[in-house]
Copies of this chain bind each other. A is one copy, B any other.
Amino acid sequence: MRPGVEPFTTRTPRVVAARRLQRRRERTETGRFLAEGPQAVREALADGAVVELFATAAAAERYAELIAAAEADGARVSPVTDDALAALAETVQPQGVVAVCSFVDVPLAQALAKQPRLVAVLADIRDPGNAGTVLRTADAAGADAVVFAGSAVDPYNGKCVRASAGSLFHVDVVRADDPLAVVERIRAAGLTVYAADAYGAADLDHVPLAGPTAWLFGSEAHGLPPQLADAADARVRVPIHGRAESLNLAAAAAVCLYSCARAQRMEGTSR
């Protein structure tokens, strides 16, 4: 950031343009989205996704290494006023940095070509916080790819980006229109496809989990569309041992994905 440059205000065209990325339509048209806060910006930089980095004077000092990395990477670094930063950010404490990033998703074929062993498919999950949390959990469990399918939330929605805590930049994120086609292609790639279903006939503790596996997760409100659940190799339920009616989506996904992760790593060993 060159010294002496007047910081951009809320009315500076570049700030106005970047702020429009808070809307899905603008993101879709430009192929760009916003990531806020030092953690997300760091992961975006590591992924080579940053196009422009907005930073307040205080943040430029505090996160000098991020500014340097952005400049080294050829990203534009733009100083902004506190007000402009606040306008770009969607959280109360964005810690002074917001980056414009290029979309990072890859085609399904590309993700499958890497022979993934663990995949999560988010089918029609509308809540961005839930979707981002499952993305983060999938990353932690070692998933290779996460597919946002059907009417699932935009993975570049600000809340989803934040809930993913950087995982958007770690795994192969795929966007696909037709969840049924996704299931067919994933199965054709050699993965077993399980539908996570609170009322599934199969118990998670009694299905084979050690092979390459894809999990289908539906919306918390409506579950998976029946046609989609039917397309899976099995409908699998997380067993309810107590009196709770069900688990919430994030908890169920964590249990399913981690059960696979453990089984895959213990394959051939006895406990």
Contact = CB atoms under 8 A, between A and B. Distances in A.
A170 B205 contact: no
A137 interface: yes
B137 A251 contact: yes
Interface in A137-174: 137-143, 165-167, 170-171
A12 interface: no
A140, A143, A261, A262 — most chain B CB neighbours (10 Å): A140
A250 B252 CA distance: 10
Contact of A254 (B165, B247, B265): B247
Interface stretch (A91-99, A179-187, A238-246): A238-246
B205 A244 contact: no
Indicate the size class of the contact surface on chain A: 35 or more
Interface string A195-233: 000000000010000000000000000000000000000
Nearest to A138: B242
A150 B261 CA distance: 34
A167 to B, nearest CB: 5
A140 B261 CA distance: 21
Number of copies: 2
Given A254-B247, A254-B251, A255-B255, A241 B141 contact: yes
Contact of A247 (B140, B266, B270): B140
Nearest to A258: B255
A205 B136 contact: no
Contact of A250 (B242, B248, B261): B248
B166 A244 contact: yes
A255 B141 CA distance: 10
A139 B251 contact: no
A261 B247 contact: no
A183 to B, nearest CB: 23
A142 B255 CA distance: 14
A142 B254 contact: no
A253 B139 CA distance: 17
Contacts of A244: 136-137, 139-140, 165-167, 170
Contacts of A114: none
A231 B255 CA distance: 27
Given A133-B250, A140-B246, 13 more contacts: A133-B248, A136-B244, A136-B251, A138-B242, A139-B242, A139-B244, A165-B248, A166-B244, A167-B244, A170-B242, A241-B261, A248-B250, A250-B251
